[in-house]
Every structure is written in C-alpha cells, then in structure tokens.
C-alpha cells in the first residue's frame, strides 16, 4: 500500500534553464500559501548550469523549501528524431519517466508546471485517495466537453482529455507501468497528429489510469475566467477563486511575465513576481 508522509510534501518540476525565474515565483507562492507545511522540490533537468542550480537551491533555503536536482539519466534520453515535435523540449517527457529517476523511497509526488501560482493550500491534493489510479489530473472542459470528444477521435481514447500540467502521481505504479519503449512507440504512431506531445501521450497510454479532479480547484485555466463564470451561473467569480482555487495555471502563450499577456490574473502574478525578485536581491 502506498505510504504518504504527512510531514513532507514532495513536488516535482521538469524544466530547462529558461524557466528558472518562473519556477522561483511558483515556489514562493507555494510557500506563502502553505506556511505550515514542509516542502521538498525535485528538479529533473537536462541542460541547467551548475551556477543556476546552486542559485536555485540557495533561493529554496531562503524560503525554507529543500531543492534536490537530478540530471536526466542518459539511459532514458529520447532519440533526437522523436523530440523535434513542434519545438517542444524533451524535459516535458521527464515527468512520465520520473518513477525511474526519483529515489525508490518516494511513493507519491505532485508534479507542477512552472507557469502556475499556488494561492491556497495544496495539502488536500497531497492527501487525496487515488482510488487505485496511477495519476490524478484535471480536464479543461470549457462550456461543453466538445474538446474531449475531438481528442477522443484524434487519439482513439474514451476518457476525458486530461491536462498534464498538474498531477498527483503514484510513483510505485509508474515504476511498474510506464516504459520508455511504450512512449517511443506511441510517439512514432501518432507523430503526425500530436498537438501537445507529452499530454497527448499521457492521455493515449494512461487515460484509464487517471482519476479526474476538479479543474476550478486544482488546475484553473487563467485564460478561461469568463467560461468558468458562465458555466457556474456567476458563482465562480474572483472572490470565489481566491477562496476556493488552489492552483492557477497560466496555460498557453503568452505567459504572464511577458508584456503582451492580458489575463485577468496577470496583476496577481506580477505581484508574486515582484515579491520573489525582491527576495532574490536580499543577501543571506
């Protein structure tokens, strides 16, 4: 049976050097809204410099989050020909292989994209009963569930189309079920139809192994405020979000740290970004 350490919440990110600053903002929001929790962030990476990793670990010390960095094992590197899909980096696949890379003493972990803010406690997600599933994730359904239907046809799946940006993962099951050869075979098979490669592969191979969780609580698409408001008949307004949503996800492009972004939640992101930048300027 899966063991849960109530005293330490394990977080996984898989990034390259370009996402270090957004990761710092995410980590700071995580700490500020989970002050009573111990946190450890695991970074699986391929091309981050040693000085950048040291600076990130020093930042973690400032906010009382332990940072562990693991270089991607060469045995699990994808063939170059399979990675040139829509200019997506290979780091996006590392989350699916994380069971092979992370220490065997870890049994569950929360995967988080760096382009998010945590604005309430994530402890309920950490404590979630996976009901025998390998993952827990949300589906961005819009006003209707038409996109899941389109993706069912495109990928030949029968479940909702799950977003891979926030996931609770059972690492013990992943060590048994997730295989590099299966990922490569799926990429080869659907090479011409993949839109979001790792997310498509997650849904194609493991959709039946995913427990669906509420998107407005755990994976709120920051672009879709008007959709959520309409779908809830006005109930899910800004006050509701600030009280009930735990994770704001700045999906797609542009990102909130870019000048052209006009998301309703950009000002909130910029506030956390400013606090983070001020903290990084303070010497220990």
Q: Is the pLDDT of residue 1 over 60?
A: no
**Residue 25 dihedral angles phi and psi, to the nearest 5°:** -65, -45
- Only one residue has tokens 């997310």, namely 199
Question: Is the pLDDT assigned to residue 250 strictly greater than 90?
Answer: yes
**Could you give the count of Cα atoms lying within 13 Å of 120 in the half-sphere of its Cβ?**
17
How far is residue 248's CA from residue 240's CA, in Å, rounded to a whole number? 13
In whole angstroms, what separates CA 141 from the centre of its chain?
18
pLDDT classification of 53: cutoffs 50, 70, 90: very high
Query: How does pLDDT run across 183-226, given as a tens digit for each residue?
Result: 888 877 766 666 666 788 888 899 999 999 999 999 999 999 99
pLDDT at residue 144, as a whole number: 45
**pLDDT tens-place string over residues 113-153:** 999 999 999 999 999 999 999 999 999 887 445 556 555 65
What distance in Å separates the CA atoms of residue 222 and residue 248, rounded to the nearest whole number?
A: 6
pLDDT at site 86: 47
Give the predicted TM-score (pTM) of the model.
0.90
pLDDT of residue 75: 58
**Of the ranges 2-11, 58-67, 119-128, which one carries the lowest mean pLDDT score?**
2-11
Instruction: Report the C-alpha gap between 72 and 87 in whole angstroms.
Output: 19
pLDDT, average across residues 98-111 = 95
pLDDT at 261: 72
Contact 83, 46 (CB under 8 A): no
Number of Cβ within 10 Å of residue 57's Cβ equals 16
Paired tokens of 223: 């672009």
The residue behind tokens 């303070």 is 282
- DSSP codes, 224-284: -HHHHHHHTTT-S-HHHHHHH--EEE--SSS-TTSTT---TTHHHHHHHHHHHHHHHHS--
Report CA-CA distances (Å) from 171 to 28, 33, 164, 237: 25, 26, 15, 36
- Helix spans in the chain (H): 20-32, 50-62, 91-94, 98-101, 123-126, 146-155, 171-177, 180-189, 197-206, 215-218, 225-231, 238-244, 266-281
CB 155 within 8 A of CB 238: no
pLDDT number for residue 188: 76
Band of residue 2 on the pLDDT scale cut at 50, 70, 90: low
Mean pLDDT of the chain: 87
């Amino acid at each position: 049976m899966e063991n849960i350490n109530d005293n330490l919440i394990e977080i996984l990110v898989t990034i390259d050097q370009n996402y270090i600053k957004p990761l710092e903002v995410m980590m700071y929001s995580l700490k500020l809204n989970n002050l009573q929790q111990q946190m450890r962030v695991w970074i699986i990476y391929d091309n981050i410099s040693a000085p950048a990793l040291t600076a990130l670990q020093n930042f973690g010390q400032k906010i009382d989050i332990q940072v562990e960095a693991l270089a991607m094992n060469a045995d699990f590197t994808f063939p170059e020909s399979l990675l040139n899909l829509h200019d997506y980096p290979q780091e996006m696949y590392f989350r699916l292989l994380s069971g092979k890379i992370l220490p065997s003493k870890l049994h569950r972990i929360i995967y988080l994209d760096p382009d998010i803010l945590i604005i309430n406690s994530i402890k309920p997600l950490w404590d979630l009963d996976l009901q025998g599933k390998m993952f827990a994730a949300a589906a961005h359904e819009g006003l209707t569930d038409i996109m899941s239907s389109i993706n069912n046809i495109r990928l030949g799946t029968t479940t909702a189309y799950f977003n891979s940006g926030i996931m609770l993962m059972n690492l013990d099951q992943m060590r048994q079920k997730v295989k590099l050869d299966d990922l490569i075979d799926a990429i080869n098979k659907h090479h011409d139809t993949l839109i979001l490669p790792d997310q498509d592969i997650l849904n194609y191979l493991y959709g039946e192994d995913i427990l669906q969780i509420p998107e407005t609580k755990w994976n709120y698409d920051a672009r879709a405020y008007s959709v959520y408001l309409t779908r809830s008949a006005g109930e899910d307004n800004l006050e509701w979000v600030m009280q009930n949503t735990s994770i704001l996800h700045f999906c797609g492009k542009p990102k909130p740290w870019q000048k052209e972004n006009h998301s309703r939640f950009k000002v909130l992101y910029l506030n956390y970004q400013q606090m983070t930048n001020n903290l990084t300027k303070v010497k220990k």
